[in-house]
Amino acid sequence: MSKKFSLFIPIGKEICDPNYLTVYTVRSLLGRGAFAQCYLATIENGEEYAIKVVKLSEIKNTKLREKLDSEISIHQSLNSPHIVKMYRSFRDSEFLYMVLEYCKNGGMDALLKRHKSFSEQQVRVFTTQILDALEYLHEAKQVVHRDLKLGNLFLDNNNNIKLGDFGLAAVIKEGQKKRTICGTPNYIAPEVLFDKDNGHSFEVDIWSLGVIIYTLLVGVPPFQKKDVKEIYKMIEANSYIFPKDSNISQECKQLISSILTTNPMERPTLTELRRSRFLSRKETMFAKILRNLGSSVTAERPNIDYLVFSIPLSKIKGVGYILISGYHGIYFSDHSNILSKVGVQTFTYIGVRIDNNRKILRKEEHATGKVPEHLVDKYERLKYFIRNFKSNKWKEDVEASFIVRIKRMENGLIHGLWNNLIVLDYNDGLKIMVYDEGRKIWATDGDKDIPVTKSLIKQCIGVLKTQDK
């Protein structure tokens, strides 16, 4: 059982910053540590902040006071897109208050707990953002964090990673080494524990990053035991394995192994990490969508073109579809498209060619009375589809799109539209539409809206993960 604790600050209480005369109203507890508690607070205009509150009576010796002063001095000097911003600090007779940027989407540790593990594409994005933070700390500010872990990585409104908690951070002067044993057991570098004579420096953050990459992919840290002493034995022996069922790529394993090297001088630099085969790959569209879906999303009907109806037909040798813009189209097995709007005397043909492994689209507009010979067959199939499948659901003010890819899923098809909207089109009529890079989602059965529940989002993530290769 966990020990009971009391709140430093009652929920609803107002805290006044005497320097700026700003009043913060405490709304909820976000987290707590040995000497501090963190609260969500708002000011008069509704802006939200995280306030870290330290109980001064617990800071009983000079070393702890110096450590606290160092944390404030370092954190307040930092200004980077991937570091939690500290705006100011103030104190009264009982507490010290640090006013911080509020990261609405929570911590990476909670996100991993919900998802169990992440794809390599997702981990690549997270890692690149952590590298941005470390490059700023190490190279611009000469600061080593020394407590890099999932619990100190937060997500802002746009799901960007922000590194926080600089309680163990230190400024490293040229050639200097630190010798204090500090950090979180699973993430501590071996030189911190076992090489006090030579000390440690920036390389400890590189080690912790390797632990984070492994943990995000596998779901548990590489050095994991119930007893801390056993964890330290594993770290000393550099004893970890990649689970047989993990499906981690060879290039990713090589990266992790190069980072989790006992000798800190043999670990890759930040520049070398960025140039590694694993991290130099670009993020796919599916990876970006999965990253955003895994956090906070908005349930909202699309204001862009979307799929109303689709059906694979051998008669037309393709998948016929109708869009909310009123266009009827056919997506053929050669990835080409032909589409037209009922009552309009023109049609559009979109051909495809492959150039250097890239798909190049070629758009042609033609009058229905002058169909080019090479398109007669496909145009006849389009006329057949329009005659036999009609829809009264369409909007005049929507810019027309078209299907650019179709993939199979269990019990249906996945459609990708030119406007980057993804449709999970189930055989039973359910359609889940994901757009704005996964920040927005909508579901319908054709007749009515379907509530976007957590289980529906989880279902959507599960399907899209199979496409994120």
Which positions are annotated as active-site residues?
A: 147
Residue 423 sits at φ, ψ, to 5 deg, of -120, 120
Going by DSSP bridges, is the β-strand pair 298-299/440-444 parallel, antiparallel, or unpaired? parallel
Q: Which of 97, 158, 166, 86 is nearest to 129 (CA)?
A: 158
- Cα dist. 291→103, 126, 133, 220 in Å? 16, 9, 19, 19
Please give the Cα distance from 138 to 270 (Å, whole number): 9
Q: For the chain, how big is the Rg over CA atoms in Å? A: 28
Tracing tokens 């908690």 back to the chain, one arrives at 165
Rounded Cα gap, residues 456 and 47, in angstroms: 31
Phi-psi region of 116 (alpha: psi -120 to 50; beta: other; left: phi over 0): left
Sequence-separated contacts (24+) of 358-365 with Cβ below 8 Å: 359/335, 361/404
Contacts of 298 (CB under 8 A, 6+ apart): 439, 440, 441
Closest CA to 237 of 203, 201, 190, 199: 190
Helix 285-293 crosses helix 120-135 at what angle (to 10 degrees)?
80
Give me the residues paired with residue 98 across strands. 52, 89
Q: Consult the annotation and say whether 458 binds a ligand.
A: no
From the list 419, 422, 427, the residue with the least C-alpha distance to 406 is 422
CB–CB of 353/335 below 8 Å?
no
Pair of tokens at residue 352 = 């495809």
For the chain, the distance separating the N- and C-terminal CA atoms, rounded to the nearest angstrom, is 42
SS3 content of the chain, % helix, strand, coil (to 5): 30, 30, 40
Residues annotated in a binding site: 52
Residues annotated in a binding site for ATP: 52
